[in-house]
Structure 1
């Protein structure tokens, strides 16, 4: 068994995959528990990363976990318990934006979009953390990361430099309601992290929300559009996450952290 066991949800695409690769590029040894909703996709991704980094000391182990399914969460944590007995780092990366799916003429209803946004980004993440908590407490240096968003800050919600904060034209219906369900659920995640910081205070678990920046991933369903809007290479965000795993931001435990500062609430 390698030195540090890292469990990453949503690890077969986007930022999650880039985090796996960043850990494989590290000089430190990791067993990366690569969580994906589909075990086939997780297995394929594990093979891909092993082939891309054949000289890495890291190990990739595919894990099936769907954070919208309590039984899937239980089975994943039971597997980890029976094979590894602990988790040193839990990276709650799995998340989604559903706002773009809303259409007045059909598709998911507004209520369905809001409920699923919170179920994935907040509720499911909390339940997975709760289920894995005993495994974290078996670690000598437990670390708990939640991947949040720069759009979640209340303090900066009136910063009109950010397009997501600009008001649409007068009248109704509005041409766009942007991403209210997504960003609200991530704001909820920030408070959830504060709760876990409080709950784990006497156990030595270090917790953060990590705000990696606007990344050129498929979040929201359109990677190319994100690039045109100025999104940065996801490897930058992934290397930031790896730095947090490796102790670079231990002075900011319990905060929402960006690469160069602490994100205001």
Structure 2
């Protein structure tokens, strides 16, 4: 990061891994201007108030900004606000995401399947691509531009090909049809695999522009994703969301520059 306060925009910054990322950056010795993206400004205001009590001596400042990545008008409005006030963006953290696989359990049959898959791809793939494309002119104004996509360990084709899915799925289902209901998160997993491909293409497209691009796999963490509940996820072995914030901070601050264009996690590089 160049000298001065780096301008960082994180979507979905008011809760879960996004919240812990903002907290980790606030604890850094380096000063930042952090734009906490949230669908509702009230939620961002409340999160910032809580962070101010947790990290009272930060060198950074955190500003709420309304952004709903599935709403093009919201994206355009956010872009204009950042452009007018700052004129650039040093780091874009595409953190906002969603898991809608539960819809297949709530509404069995074609309708539930279509809704789960369409919504998963709309948020995690299409909307993230739109968000990145709209904000690219501001990112290219930075002297050290960084583009981060938050993916998942469940996105690995290598891991899935070995027969592993998630901690919530204990074994292969028995022979026959229909199969018993399970939360294998297949729509979510597939959308995050697509996100990895998106990251690779952005790394290719932006190589000559000097933009450093990563996908970050924060690990199995107890967040509000999918509405399962943090306590339920903890029972499956999920860790604290702060672990994800720590990894993202390291990428922002250059500790993972040797892994540009890869999916990085706490252990190194996640296999494709």
Bin the TM-score by the shorter chain: over 0.9
**Deviation digits for residues 84-124 of structure 1 (CA, Å, limit 9, x no counterpart):** 11110100000011102322459962111111100100110
| Equivalent residue, structure 2, for 1:35 | 37
Alignment of 1:20-31 (within 5 A): 20-31=22-33
**Deviation digits for residues 107-155 of structure 1 (CA, Å, limit 9, x no counterpart):** 9621111111001001101100000000100101000000000010111
Identify the match of residue 175 of structure 2 among 170, 176, 179: 170
* Residue 252 of structure 2 is aligned to residue 250 of structure 1: no
TM-score (norm 2): 0.93
Give 3-state SS (helix, strand or coil) of 1:157's partner. helix
Identify the match of residue 93 of structure 1 among 92, 95, 99: 95
Contact 2:103 2:113 in 1 (8 A): no
Identify the match of residue 186 of structure 1 among 189, 192, 201: 192
Identify the match of residue 262 of structure 1 among 266, 269, 272: 269
2:199 and 2:239 map into 1 onto residues whose CA distance is 25
Contact 1:160 1:166 in 2 (8 A): no
Is there any run of 5+ residues in structure 1 with no aligned partner, and where?
none
1:158 Cα deviation from its structure 2 partner:
3.1
Contact 1:121 1:186 in 2 (8 A): yes
Moved over 6 A (4+): none
Alignment of 1:39-50 (within 5 A): 39-50=41-52
Identify the match of residue 117 of structure 2 among 114, 117, 122: 114
2:256 and 2:128 map into 1 onto residues whose CA distance is 22
Identify the match of residue 215 of structure 2 among 209, 213, 224: 209
Identify the match of residue 83 of structure 2 among 78, 81, 84: 81
2:4 and 2:62 map into 1 onto residues whose CA distance is 11
The count of residues paired between Structure 1 and Structure 2 equals 265
Contact 1:212 1:240 in 2 (8 A): yes
2:150 and 2:126 map into 1 onto residues whose CA distance is 14
Q: Once structures 1 and 2 are overlaid, which stretch shifts more, 72-81 or 150-159?
A: 150-159
2:176 and 2:121 map into 1 onto residues whose CA distance is 29
Identify the match of residue 67 of structure 1 among 52, 66, 69: 69
Contact 2:102 2:116 in 1 (8 A): no
Give 3-state SS (helix, strand or coil) of 2:158's partner. coil
1:46 and 1:8 map into 2 onto residues whose CA distance is 13
**Deviation digits for residues 7-57 of structure 1 (CA, Å, limit 9, x no counterpart):** 000011110001010011111101110000111111221222123212101
| Equivalent residue, structure 1, for 2:21 | 19
Q: For the aligned residues, what is the CA RMSD?
A: 1.8
1:219 Cα deviation from its structure 2 partner:
1.1
Contact 1:93 1:146 in 2 (8 A): yes
**Deviation digits for residues 189-236 of structure 1 (CA, Å, limit 9, x no counterpart):** 000001100110110000000001100111121211110000111111
Structure 1 pair 106–188 and aligned structure 2 pair: CA distance change class (3 A): closer
| Equivalent residue, structure 2, for 1:240 | 247
1:131 and 1:104 map into 2 onto residues whose CA distance is 35
2:89 and 2:129 map into 1 onto residues whose CA distance is 16
Is there any run of 5+ residues in structure 2 with no aligned partner, and where?
none
1:173 Cα deviation from its structure 2 partner:
2.1
